[in-house]
Amino acid sequence: MTIGGVRLLTTVILALVGSGVAPAAPATPAAAAVSLASVVPAPVTATPATGVTYRVTAATAIYTEPGSPAVADVAGQLAAILRRSTGYPMPVVDASSPTPTDGIALLLSGAPASVGNEGYQLDVTTASIAVRANQPAGLFAGVQTLRQLLPPTVESATVQPGPWEVAGGRIVDHPRFAHRGAMLDVARHFLPVAVVKRYIDEIALYKVNRLHLHLSDDQGWRIAVNSWPNLAVYGGSTQVGGGTGGYYTQDEYRQIVAYAAARYVMVVPEIDMPGHTNAALASYAELNCDGVAPKLYTGTKVGFSSLCVSKELTYTFIDQVLGELAALTPGPYLHIGGDEASSTTAADYATFMNRAQQIVAGHGKSVVGWHDIVNAPVLPSTVAQYWGTTTSHAAVAAAAGNGIKIIMSPANRSYLDMKYNSRTRLGQRWAGFIEVQDAYGWDPGAYLSGVGETSVLGVEAPLWTETIETLADVEYMAFPRLPAIAELGWSPASTHDWTSFQQRLGAQGPRWRVMGINYYHSTQVSWPTGS
């Protein structure tokens, strides 16, 4: 159907509605529209307009910033969701004015500068809804908020009865931290592309904008490398527990990157080194200092492997591997791990990390490393990801004092593979139990002594998969704690309040039920009946 045709269709529908010929308003009593105050993450400001409601109807069109394919793509994602659950045509057309008087508008004009590149202003009146932003990323964020202001059934995969009402008012919103991440360990247990895409959909709902993929470890190598084909073919052939493992072809990795980018999620790939490298060492005997390849490993121990720091081949290896990965990764970061290098001497670790950081820079990327990397001299652009369980760490504080940016992933707050409690079947407990309130009850900007807000690039919730094998497992551990971490990354510290959060979190339950998300019904959260 051509744009013109769509406009004609819209005109016809509007005429029908105007003439009263259109179907009468639904008989079902309108459930109270979702409150503006219920959004997760909490917006910077939400000002309800009492008694004002916008109703999405068969006549509703989505108006987009003229000439912006990116905005049209965001609108297309919203239209697909609404068409599927309302059954309405939901045409997407260029806005014919910067101030549309009906429908849902996604515009790159009229937003306050204060919302930056990822924020937005959302206005809901009786006549129209307008999402305004300075960049398409902000419109995407505003659309995630709008989804939450519609009834949970808007997420349904089949047509549901309305009414489709949105409470009136204004939200002006923008993120606190730049890095709001989720990590998936696809090495211990391989997770197929479809699972990764589904997780991207789920984290994007909560304005998470980074997906850190842990692509290699002792138990598996998960990304095809053309110059070292055995890494994936042999190194990716198994996993924890001895299953068949798997790996992403480079095209599949490109698909994941593109799928994430359309949801304003940047992929940060990790090749862990010099430790956590048994899969690589098993794949190429020549990578080992003694020239002997170890067997593939399917257990869950850590710290026993190391690349051979003294061999020049090691640096050719990481240069070629990271070169291919850099070419496949539009984002500015390559994560090179660096954790638990117990089989690498401190001197060798420093030597290795010196060269590895230079190699990454040579491919035009910046390094992220687990915070162990600060034990070696780091480039000014290197980012350290804190995964400790204490609220002080001298070397990390010193690095921050020297201008190094920190991603906060304290294992006893943000590790989604930690059990909720002693009864949780999945997960581990080495960092302690993490119930929802533990995941929410901390401030990334003030958590580590000597690491102030300006040193904190953001937060990230890692999900290690020693005990996690399926999408249902991923969802059980990530929900409801991932939205808690997402709120810490997005919302102002001033909005931080457990009572408010657990109520808003509870209201997400019905949405997750409609979406089929296998979440943990934490007893710390008041879930509405039937959720």
133 touches 139 (CB < 8 A)? yes
- Residues between 376 and 395 that touch ligand IFG (CB under 6 A): 387
Rule CB under 6 A: choose which of 319, 339, 438, 460 binds ligand IFG.
Answer: 339
Q: How far is the CB of 417 from ligand IFG (least distance, A)?
A: 5
Judged by beta carbon, residue 248 or residue 370, the one nearer ligand IFG is 370
- Is the CB of 13 or the CB of 418 nearer to ligand IFG? 418
As given in the structure block, the two tokens for residue 426 are: 């999945």
Non-local (6+) Cβ contacts of 107 within 8 A are 63, 64, 65, 71, 95, 98, 130, 131, 132, 133, 139
Residues 413-432 that bind ligand IFG (CB under 6 A): 415, 417, 428
Tokens encoding 251: 């095209």
Closer of 155 and 339 to ligand IFG (Cβ): 339
- Among 77, 340, 343, 452, interactor with ligand IFG by CB under 6 A: 340
Q: Give me the half-sphere count of Cα atoms (radius 13 Å) on the Cβ side of residue 110.
A: 15
What minimum distance in Å lies between the beta carbon of 236 and ligand IFG? Answer: 17
Which string of DSSP letters, residue by residue, matches 41-89? SPPSEEEEEEEEEEEE-TT--EEE-TT-HHHHHHHHHHHHHHHHHH---
Work out how close the CB of 387 gets to ligand IFG at its nearest, in angstroms, rounded to a whole number: 5
For residue 115, the minimal CB distance to ligand IFG (Å) is 34
- Near ligand IFG in 282-321, by CB under 6 A: 302
Are the C-beta atoms of residues 369 and 335 closer than 8 Å to each other?
yes
Q: Which of 155, 312, 324, 340 is catalytic?
A: 340
Distances (CA, A) of 211 to 154, 191, 196, 236: 26, 14, 10, 21
Of residues 158 through 197, those in contact with ligand IFG by CB under 6 A are none
Are 92 and 84 in contact by the 8 Å Cβ rule? The answer is: no
Site for ligand IFG in 430-469 (CB under 6 A): 464
For the chain, give percent helix, strand, coil, nearest 5: 35, 15, 45
Taking the complex as a whole, the smallest distance from the CB of residue 303 to ligand IFG amounts, in Å, to 9
Nearer to ligand IFG, 319 or 473 (CB): 473
Number of residues that bind ligand IFG (CB under 6 A): 9
For residue 245, give the amino acid letter: G
Burial of 180 (0-12, 13-18, 19+ CB in 10 A): buried
Minimal distance, residue 272 CB to ligand IFG, in Å? 7
Which residues, at least 6 apart from 376, have a Cβ–Cβ distance to it below 8 Å?
A: 338, 349, 350, 352, 353, 354
- Helices 498-515 and 481-490 cross at an angle (nearest 10°) of 120
CA proximity to 280, closest of 293, 270, 289: 293
370 touches ligand IFG by CB under 6 A? yes
Burial of 41 (0-12, 13-18, 19+ CB in 10 A): buried
Nearer to ligand IFG (CB atom), residue 304 or residue 498: 304
Which is closer to ligand IFG, CB of 201 or CB of 340?
340
Residue with smaller CB distance to ligand IFG, 454 or 470? 470
Q: Does the annotation count 340 as an active-site position?
A: yes
List the structure tokens of 104. 């849902």
Minimal distance, residue 347 CB to ligand IFG, in Å: 22
**Interface positions with ligand IFG (CB under 6 A):** 302, 339-340, 370, 387, 415, 417, 428, 464
Q: Annotated active-site positions, please?
A: 340
